Structure 1
Amino acid sequence: MENNFKSWMANPISKIFIGTNLVFAVLFFVSVPSFVKEYVTRDAVSIGGKKYDLRDVKESSPIAYSKFQTEYKSLLKNTFGEFAQDKLFELVAKDKNIKPADVLNEGLVLREPSEEEILTVYMSNKEQLGGKSLAETKDKIVGFLKNQQEQEHSRNKYREIISKYPVDFLIKEPDIVRVTVDEKNNPSIGPKDAKITVIEFSDFECPFCKRSQEVNRQLREKYKGQIRWVFRDFPLPFHQDAMYAHMAANCSIDDGKYWEVFNILFENSGNLSVSNVDDLVLQAGVSQNKYKSCMVNKAKIKSEIEADIQDGQKVGVSGTPAFFINGIFVSGALPFENFDEIIQKELKQ
């Protein structure tokens, strides 16, 4: 509730707007688009008099082609989502003889929030209110709570609409683009014969990488015994402390403490100074003597990390986090559902 209140406080006069995102949340079981040959070959680039189309991109730059498909899918979702919303409103409005703009508010009766509800919001967001008293902020809190009532009413209305007017998105599946990515004996979790192998290129200092770790843990837990997770180093050059942190993590492998160090480094990704990294490694249970002995040979460790970076760049990795699920490229700290959809399809293969 705290984050919702903060967003609402930034624009307290805003009214309910249920748009494409809510339609997706209720409706979308969408498959990725696929071009028919006409569209694949229509758009092209001419280089030195020779014409290249998307088939050439797919063959020589599969990651670029995969990114193109992802962006095109997003565009399709937005376009069809807005269109579907308008049509649904028109159908309901005609059926009930009301205006389309009134569809979501039909039957809405707002109740006055209780004193307990108001106090709970105030106490949870006291710091954001700049020291103002409950009396000074009460009207805004009441507005926020009523806005929540409107949102819940609108969500319920959408569920009613969808149950009466089913929506199916008839979008064809594309050819799956797979990239061969070597593991090269990097640290892993899960059985070697797992049907699903996820290779992650990540950076201990990257905030998006840190955010993605909770989703990664959820996936490993849900598909325990079915998934193998491989971690490859990809410290970004503008993260000044990242390289040392990755070197330290690699020096915990021989002591069998890699994943303990992995977790504690991500937990402290905003503070990876050399001295703190050294302390964190020891906190994770790594032998001090073994750690110091390993870190003496910094050039060798660094070269192994740079090899990971080069391998990542060869398959199209330019930022972190980047994932390959059985060779299928996924870029960024995306929600659990994005990964889960791909994994479920792979398990059915």
Structure 2
Amino acid sequence: MMENSNQKWIEQPLSKIVTGLAVLFALVAAISLPSFVENFFLADAVMIGGKRYDINDVKKTSPVAFSKFQTEYQSLVKNTLSEFAQDKLFELVAKEKNIKPSEVLSQGFVATEPSNEEIQAVYTQYKPQFGGKSLAEVRDQIIKVLKNQQEQQHNQGVYKEIVTKYPVEFKLREIEQVRVSVETKGNPSTGKEGAKITIIEFSDFECPFCKRSQDVNRRLREKYKDDIQWVFRDFPLPFHENAMYAHMAANCSIPQNKYWDVFQVLFENSGNLSPGNVDYLVTKAGLNAEKYQACMKDKKKLQAEIDSDIEDGQKVGVNGTPAFFINGIFVSGALPFENFDEIIQKELNK
């Protein structure tokens, strides 16, 4: 199985990568990538008490760590090949036009002077960032930024023309999916129970990346509806001083059947979750204040439930948020919609 993902590469700028030479050597030497990867990484090992351990042992004992390794390695391979492909494209076009590769993107670009309206619009939009300086004081700086934007737009247009003429297609070995058994343990869920897809999310109401991921999560639930059961498990990080209280408050909304209302309002206010504001937000979301305060008094019980979620997450390798398990397949971080969608599609088509 091979991955074909050239469109996303076309739309995103490519950065210089100086690592991954071993992979390129393998390609030049006509060694198959899968066999090279296996031989290359199984040659790496650690000796503990005279016994040898390699990446297969990591796979057996820590499948989440193995999944992270695979994802990061594949990203390195793709970045390395992307840089190689970009240089080759510029060489092709430069030869065709009899110019230097470094001139390919800039050829034909002539910056135009921004209008007074454009300059004023930028100044108005970013006035707080200018530290009280007048328009006259930052005018040259704004003009420079606007001209730079013109150049970037020109470069992107040229680049799209190049990859249209010389198509780029990545052939990457599909990552081996390692499944981890993660229990739901009666935690709050939305969607159809027993759906073909179960997504378990370990998250933190005070985590900015978790907040960012909610837009993608919402889109997935809207698209797949009853095909997904979405389960939320608490994972407040220790360095987020207000997270534990927010998670306790959310759990106190369960008896009042308001969990997902509170869930939404807490993430909307993720950067402002002082205990006092949390109390205000949950009552604003519809909780009976008296019942809520009574529930919050049993801190020992509430924290024990949250600690149980944290412990279960740590057992399967969760050490940061957000972390997801799609039918047991680990996905780490606030990734784009397409990353989740691809896995879900494959699971549904089985």
Give, in angstroms, the shift of residue 165 of structure 1.
0.9
Give, in angstroms, the shift of residue 261 of structure 1.
0.9
Q: Does 1:209 align with 2:195?
A: no
CA contact (8 A) 1:34 1:171 kept: no
Q: Which moved more, 1:215-224 or 1:230-239?
A: 215-224
Aligned to 2:101: 100
CA contact (8 A) 1:34 1:173 kept: no
Aligned to 2:269: 268
Aligned to 1:17: none
Give, in angstroms, the shift of residue 325 of structure 1.
1.5
Q: How does 1:192-271 map to 2 (within 5 A)?
A: 192-271=193-272
| Residue identity opposite 1:137 in structure 2 | V
Aligned to 1:287: 288
Q: Does 1:50 align with 2:51?
A: yes
Q: 1:25 aligns with which of 8, 11, 15?
A: 11
Q: Which moved more, 1:249-258 or 1:235-244?
A: 235-244
CA contact (8 A) 2:207 2:321 kept: yes
SS at the partner of 1:224? helix
Query: What is the distance in 2 between the residues matched to 1:204 and 1:222?
Result: 24
Aligned to 2:174: 173
CA contact (8 A) 2:123 2:142 kept: yes
Give, in angstroms, the shift of residue 196 of structure 1.
2.1
Q: 1:263-282 CA distances to partner (integer Å, 9 max, x unpaired)?
A: 11122223322222222211
Query: What is the distance in 2 between the residues matched to 1:272 and 1:160?
Result: 48
Give, in angstroms, the shift of residue 106 of structure 1.
1.8
Structure 1 residues 39 and 288: CA distance shift in structure 2, 3 A: same
CA contact (8 A) 1:24 1:81 kept: no
Structure 1 residues 174 and 70: CA distance shift in structure 2, 3 A: closer
- Runs of 4 or more, structure 1, over 4 Å off, are 33-36
| Residue identity opposite 1:120 in structure 2 | A
In structure 1, runs of 5+ residues without a counterpart are 1-21
Q: How does 1:151-190 map to 2 (within 5 A)?
A: 151-190=152-191
Q: 1:53-81 CA distances to partner (integer Å, 9 max, x unpaired)?
A: 21111111101101111111221122111
CA contact (8 A) 1:252 1:291 kept: yes
Structure 1 residues 58 and 24: CA distance shift in structure 2, 3 A: farther
Q: 1:210-238 CA distances to partner (integer Å, 9 max, x unpaired)?
A: 22222222222232232221100111222
The Cα RMSD (Å) is 2.1
Aligned to 1:83: 84
Give, in angstroms, the shift of residue 26 of structure 1.
5.4
Query: What is the distance in 1 between the residues matched to 2:119 and 2:42?
Result: 60
CA contact (8 A) 2:180 2:328 kept: yes
Q: Which moved more, 1:80-89 or 1:264-273?
A: 264-273
| Residue identity opposite 2:89 in structure 1 | L
Query: What is the distance in 2 between the residues matched to 1:174 and 1:145?
Result: 42
CA contact (8 A) 2:10 2:163 kept: no
CA contact (8 A) 1:26 1:159 kept: no
Query: What is the distance in 2 between the residues matched to 1:344 and 1:158?
Result: 31
Structure 1 residues 274 and 34: CA distance shift in structure 2, 3 A: farther
